[in-house]
Amino acid sequence: MTDAVSLIRAKRDGQRLADEDINWLFEAYARHEVADEQMSALLMAIYFRGLDPAELRTWTAAMIASGDRLDLSSVGRPTVDKHSTGGVGDKVSLILAPLVAACGAAVPQLSGRGLGHTGGTLDKLESIPGFRAGLTPDETLAVLASVGCVICAAGSGLAPADRRLYALRDVTGTVESIPLIASSIMSKKIAEGTSALVLDVKVGSGAFMTSYERARELAETMVALGEEHGVRTRALLTRMDVPLGRAVGNAVEVEESVQALQGHGPDDLMEVTLALARQMLALAGIAGDAAADPVAAIADGRALAAYRAMVRAQGGDPDAALPQAAHTQVWPAPASGWLTSLDALAVGIAAWRLGAGRARKEDDVSASAGIICLAKPGEAVQAGQPLLELRADEPERFGPALAALEGAAAVSDHGPPPALSPVIEEVGPA
C-alpha cells in the first residue's frame, strides 16, 4: 500500500515516483489524508532531486484532475492564450489580449496578482474604476464570446491542488524548482481549456529566471508539458534587465497600455507585444489573413475598441479618470553621458516600496503608486537630469524607494551602447 512517508523517502533517495503513486498522492492530499508537513517534505525532495519528464507529465495531469476544466467549445473562434513569467513594467497582457482578439482569435486570459517586485495584471486592471477581475465561469465565457477576450482571475475550481501547493512552496523555500514552476503554470493554463498557448519567459535581473540557461530550461519544460496535454505551445525568451516600456506600477501601466493601443507605445514594449501576437495568431491558425495583421489592428482602431469593450464587459469604465498619486519626486542622473543600464530589479523593488506591489498575497496595493522612466538605456543624459519620476500616496515611502535605487543606473561617456532586441529567441517543441 502506498503511503506518504514511502514517497518522501523514495524521492529523497533519488528514485522516480510511479504514476499510480503520484495519482494516489494527489487524491489523498485532497482528502486531507496527507498532511501539509508531508507534502512540504516531498516538495523539498523534488526541489533537490527533480522530476523526470514522465513524472512531471503525470504530476501535472494530477494537478489538472484535482479540479474543473473550462469548456471553450461554445466560443466560436480559435482560442489562444499567453502567459508571462513576470517582470517589471510588463503590461503586455493589457495590450495583447484585445489586439489578438481584434485579429480574430479568442483570448481567455486567466491572470494573477503581483508579489514582490513583479507586477500583477489583475492589480493593474483593477485600477480602472469598476473593473471586476473575479468572474464566474459563465461570466468568463459570456465576455469571451461577446468581446473575444477576457482577463480575469482563475476560479477556485481550476487546479485547486496548485493553490495549496503554491502556498506551501512560498513558505518552505521551494519556489525556484523548474518542475514545480512548470507544473504550476501549465496545470492552470491547460485547465482553462485553451487550444494554444504562447509563453513569455523573461530573462535577466528583473526576472524570476536571471540566467539564460535556466530560462531556456523552463521554457522547454513548459512547451513539452503543453504539447503532451494537447495544447499547441511555443515560448519566447525576452529580456528583463531593464523595465519594459516606461511605466512601472498599476494605473500608470494602464495609461501606457492605452497609449500603445493608440499607436504610441514605446519601441521595446511594442516589439515584445507584436512578436507574441504573431506567435499567438500563427498557433491559432489565422495568421496571414489581412484582417489578422496586428500592426493594422492597432492603426485602424480595432485593438483599442476591443480593449474598451472588454473593460466595459467586466464592469469598468474605459473613460474614467485613473487614480493619481498625491506626491511625486524625481531621481536624477548620476553623471553626464550615455545611459547604459537601468536595473529592472532595483526599479521593481522601488515601485513595490512606493506601494505598487505587495509583500504578502493578502496585502493591498496602491493603484496610483509607481515609477515613470524618463530616460532609458541608449539615451543621452545630463548630470542631475531626472531619470525617474517616483509617485506615491504617502511621502514617507520615498526614502525606502530611493534607497532601493542606489547604483541602479550606469552612465558612460563611451556611447551610445549597442541596441539589443528585447526578444531573444523562440522555443518550440523538441
Residue 73, CA atoms < 13 Å, CB-side half-sphere: 2
Amino acid (1-letter code) at residue 375: A
pLDDT at 415 over 80: no
Mind listing the pLDDT tens digit for each residue in 109-139?
998 887 667 778 999 999 999 999 999 999 9
Mind listing the pLDDT tens digit for each residue in 22-55?
999 999 999 999 999 999 999 999 999 999 999 9
Q: Residues near 167 by Cβ (< 8 Å), separated by ≥ 6?
A: none
Alpha-carbon gap, residue 282 to 286, rounded angstroms: 6
Q: What is the residue extent of each domain of the chain?
A: 4-50, 80-319, 327-412
pLDDT at 384 over 60: yes
Give pLDDT, residue 112. Answer: 82
Q: What share of the chain is helix, strand, coil (3-state, %, to 5)?
A: 45, 15, 40
Write out the DSSP string of 145-180: HHHSEEEEEPPTTBSHHHHHHHHHHHHHT----HHH
Name the catalytic one among 11, 57, 82, 83.
83
CA torsion angle for 258, 310, 154, 232 (degrees, to 10)?
Answer: -80
Give pLDDT, residue 78. Answer: 95
83 is catalytic: yes
327-412 CATH: 3.90.1170.30
Give pLDDT, residue 116. Answer: 67
19 is catalytic: no
User: Domain 80-319 maps to which CATH number in 3.40.190.290, 3.30.428.10, 3.40.1030.10, 3.40.50.1820?
Assistant: 3.40.1030.10
Which residues are registered as beta bridge partners of 107?
149
Name the catalytic one among 40, 93, 177, 184.
184
Mind listing the pLDDT tens digit for each residue in 197-210?
999 999 999 998 99
pLDDT at 218 over 90: yes
E-assigned strand segments in 26-106: 80-84
Write out the DSSP string of 236-268: EEEE-SS-SSSEEESHHHHHHHHHHHTT---HH
For the chain, the average pLDDT equals 94
Q: What percent of the chain has pLDDT over 90?
A: 86
Q: Read off the pTM.
A: 0.95
Name the catalytic one among 81, 123, 162, 343.
162
Give the cell for residue 237.
525568451
Give pLDDT, residue 2. Answer: 84
Mind listing the pLDDT tens digit for each residue in 62-81?
999 999 999 998 898 999 99
Amino acid (1-letter code) at residue 72: L
Alpha-carbon gap, residue 333 to 377, rounded angstroms: 12
Give pLDDT, residue 115. Answer: 67
4-50 CATH: 1.20.970.10
pLDDT at 396 over 70: yes
- Other residues' Cβ atoms within 10 Å of the Cβ of residue 295: 14
pLDDT band at 364; cut points 50, 70, 90:
confident
188 is catalytic: yes
pLDDT band at 1; cut points 50, 70, 90:
low
